[in-house]
Structure 1
């Protein structure tokens, strides 16, 4: 493997990203985050053996991420490059996830994609993969590492977007905001909270009430109900994911409509439009699982990619919501509207995704 680090100050980061675009493969898809280095491997002949090692599988986003990965592998242009494709979910235990990755390395798999259970435990398995010639591509919950290509949207940017939209709707002033966080211990949860606090921490006299929603609709509904019973009314809400539960809890409590920064599940957008909730619907796309597979194949083919990939954040302001355009009344409420990135490949149709299982295979 060759690895070239590019260490840059803020002032030249964007210029550096532009220079990387001239050197790396398909920059319209594999866009470099500011300050990113480059990674490449010696090319291998295909077809390839690839695995996706998921961790936590207890919410609709993770289910759709698995479905997206399987839908990607089923497309003829990708299936022709794959000898074997496995998907396993191991729960929220880093030791179990590392063991699963090690098993695929030992079995001679060419690449493993994964949603890291935590950002710091994977340095030893990265070294073992490098010795074995296995390409690792974490996505969504990525690593505190510069040794592997990582696929993500800006999680800090996503948190910042939601909080800023809410505060803009409130004229920059608020007394009390509810923050519904995700699954503790994950880099995604950490970074989204950092982005929210970049905005909310600057609001004078603001009380921020934080609850743990685990990115899950049912959990969010329970913890928000408890927060409303304890703290009363809020001026606005920022939710990482599972916001349908947050909205349902507020409706059940008779809470007034307030600005919200929420996720992009179909049911969330339906509720925003129906109830005229101001704010923004923005989310991590489950189709990042497919982009990670696309990146893994590109690396196996010998192409150079940025070490940190930063895809655009799918988002819609409340006033721009439209049925049949950016939400779908005839589809399940749990369906995530972020079905792909047109910069990389044709986004998945609902039929492609819903035709795939979320089971291990």
Structure 2
């Protein structure tokens, strides 16, 4: 297939592309699998893309696929719509999509399905009927973490709520879960709500901007990605009443935060909670997409586990490389056993 020069140029501007020259001609007997990732601006998303790429390279090396495509966006619906339209024209066999919106992409996804392309929406999901979904139970785990955090501050005090990637499904679900818990604890006051975009520098700046106008903060509700470490840095830089008396900051599984927590725990017994969705889902999504393209029986809805770090296993993660998020690697065998055959 010949790809128009203008289409190719616009695609490459937003794309990390594997084997572009051969797409999709090599797909005659082996599938081409694509990733459409709506947002690339934090550690979690970058690690997720790395996990998808590692799985795809493994599969390509084994001759299981002809090639793969990775497209990263800026968080906007229009750009992701354009990505999907390009993938339809290219005739890829399956698309794994981390969506910018649960609903706004449904029309273009329905067109992809009508073109015979299998779609697996993961992490930030779609509501299109034709798409399979691989998600996390954001409501369950954020409810559990919020309750644990409130318990650590004695069911009273002032808290800051740090939201995640604006407009995303996970942000809406996690925020709703936190608000439902707080509604049942009237002695816990929300002193401020900010957006951290699940990113350390943005979360740090957002907290630093509001701290001077707030009463003493007892806890901070976060959403992960790497916002936890940015929040901690903001309080450390502010100093004052927080020196040696940091608030309970919800951990989101980032290595920098866990290393900080381990040092604080050793110095003064600091404790908190850490729960996070695992960026290794990118690899799991690839294997599910391959299973779909191979015609295997795949459940319509699947749920991934979350990672938990607590005092009992804190030492296991204290030496993680910087810039990483706690996550296992999900192999093809794990996906077959835990997702595809879970109901057997």
Q: Does 1:204 align with 2:186?
A: yes
Q: Does 1:265 align with 2:254?
A: yes
Question: Paired residue for 2:52?
Answer: 69
More RCO (CA 8 Å, sep 6+): 1
Q: How many residues align?
A: 298
TM-score, with length taken from structure 1: 0.78
Counterpart mapping for 1:99-178 below 5 A: 99-171=82-154, 173-178=155-160
Question: Paired residue for 1:37?
Answer: none
Alignment deviations for residues 225-267 of structure 1 (CA, whole Å, 9 cap, x no partner): 1221111321111111211000011111222223232211111
Deviation at 1:334, TM superposition (A): 1.0
Alignment deviations for residues 172-210 of structure 1 (CA, whole Å, 9 cap, x no partner): x11211111111110010011112122112101322121
Question: Could you say which structure has the higher helix fraction?
Answer: 2
Give the match's secondary structure for 1:279.
coil
**Structure 1 CA distance, aligned partners of 2:55 and 2:183?**
40
Alignment deviations for residues 293-330 of structure 1 (CA, whole Å, 9 cap, x no partner): 111111122222222211111111134301xx23425x
CA RMSD of aligned residues (A): 2.0
**Is the 2:284–2:331 contact (alpha carbons within 8 Å) kept by the matching residues of 1?**
no
**Structure 1 CA distance, aligned partners of 2:139 and 2:296?**
28
**Structure 1 CA distance, aligned partners of 2:61 and 2:121?**
19
Question: Paired residue for 1:294?
Answer: 287
TM-score, with length taken from structure 2: 0.81
**Structure 1 CA distance, aligned partners of 2:187 and 2:150?**
14
Cα pair distance change 1:272/1:230, threshold 3 Å = same
Alignment deviations for residues 24-63 of structure 1 (CA, whole Å, 9 cap, x no partner): xxxxxxxxxxxxxxxxxxxx98511111111211111111
Cα pair distance change 1:341/1:232, threshold 3 Å = farther
Alignment counterpart, residue 314 of structure 1, candidates 299, 307, 311 = 307
**Is the 2:262–2:314 contact (alpha carbons within 8 Å) kept by the matching residues of 1?**
yes
Q: Does 1:279 align with 2:279?
A: no
Unmatched 5+ stretches in structure 2: 1-26, 336-344
Unmatched 5+ stretches in structure 1: 1-43, 347-361
**Is the 1:159–1:194 contact (alpha carbons within 8 Å) kept by the matching residues of 2?**
no
Task: Tell me which stretches of 4 or more aligned residues in structure 1 moved more than 3 Å.
Answer: 76-79, 341-346
**Is the 1:146–1:307 contact (alpha carbons within 8 Å) kept by the matching residues of 2?**
no
Question: Paired residue for 1:56?
Answer: 39
Question: Paired residue for 1:326?
Answer: 317
**Is the 1:45–1:301 contact (alpha carbons within 8 Å) kept by the matching residues of 2?**
no
Q: Does 1:92 align with 2:75?
A: yes
**Structure 2 CA distance, aligned partners of 1:145 and 1:233?**
45
